[in-house]
Amino acid sequence: MIQAPVRTPGTPYHVAVIMDGNGRWARARHLPRTEGHRQGVNAARAVVRACASRGVKVLTLFAFSSENWRRPHQEVGTLMELFVRSIRRELPELEEKGIRLRFIGDREAFSQRLQARMAEAEQRTRDNTLMELVVAVSYGGRWDITRAAATLADQVRHGSMTPEQITPEALEEQLSTKGLPDPDLFIRTGGEKRVSNFLLWQLAYTELFFSDVLWPDFSEDDLVQAFDCFAGRQRRFGHIQEQLVGGSGA
């Protein structure tokens, strides 16, 4: 396990990324879209390393949305294969660096084999503390909130809580991100300016950064650019400027 780096002021504690643009990256090179996904794994590895070495404590990567099941069968199949292979290949480095892995999303939608791989990877890294790597797979913000609401409704029905006890904090306890602070910085690559059903609840006060760079080309320099932009933001959380002590929120 490597020594925890010091998080310089202005570095976000929790970074959430929509890794978008793999298909367009491949198409621009007359390659099949799946080649873009393969290259995307390399970009993800580089960003994980860069975040860990810069003192980011939580990195959430959107790898597959609940709506991505609508893609052609062959592309979905390749993505599943890539997930299985990537977990196997990347696990030793994550273990060695002290990175904890957590998967969020509707895991039951995946094959038994993939579910087992995810559970095993979580188990093997559960004591790691350098950084938490959260991978959102078959994830949708609406799925997350709906499931939390259903759990609360069930608790009310069984008498273990009253409707008055349904607070934002109580709902948060049922989200898949339970225990994690909300993202400080959201990055979307690939040029689209939307959140595409990512962490809808958790992004309430997150600083948004959009990059035109296609995900397979996203480098540490691009990440640093996003961090620099974040460091210059003033987060007010509803207050007025005069009420705030520091400049940026990290």
Active site residues: 20, 68
Find tokens 């939608």 and name the residue. Answer: 109
Q: Is 36 annotated as a binding residue?
A: no
- Is 20 an interacting residue with respect to Mg ion (CB under 5 A)? yes
| Position among 23, 105, 140, 249 found at the interface with ligand IPE (CB under 6 A) | 23
Which tokens go with 92? 């030793």
Q: Does 190 interact with ligand IPE (rule: CB under 6 A)?
A: yes
Task: Report the distance separating Cα 97 and Cα 86, nearest Å.
Answer: 16
CB of 81 to ligand IPE, least distance (A): 13
Nearest residue to the partner ligand IPE, using Cβ: 23
Q: Which residues of 110-129 are buried (b: 16+ CB within 10 A; e: fewer)?
A: beeebeebbeebeeebeebe
Contact between residue 181 and residue 205 where contact means Cβ atoms under 8 Å apart? no
- Determine the Cα angle at 54 with ends 212 and 5, to 5°: 175
Q: Which of 12, 13, 1 is nearest to 180 (CA)?
A: 13
Judged by CB under 6 A, does residue 22 bind ligand IPE?
yes
Residues 6+ away with beta carbon under 8 Å from 119: none
Establish if 174 lies at the interface with ligand IPE (CB under 6 A).
no
Residue 196 interacting entry, from Mg ion, ligand IPE, none, C-beta within 5 to 8 Å by type: ligand IPE
Q: Which does 194 bind (CB under 5 to 8 A by kind): ligand IPE, Mg ion, none?
A: ligand IPE
φ, ψ (nearest 5 deg) of residue 159: 80, 10
Tell which one of 5, 7, 10, 24 touches ligand IPE (CB under 6 A): 24
Binding-site sequence positions for Mg(2+): 20, 207
Residue ranges binding Mg ion (CB under 5 A)? 20
The annotated binding site for substrate is made up of 21-25, 33, 37, 65-67, 69, 71, 188, 194-196
Residues near ligand IPE, by CB under 6 A: 18-24, 62-65, 68, 79, 190, 192, 194, 196
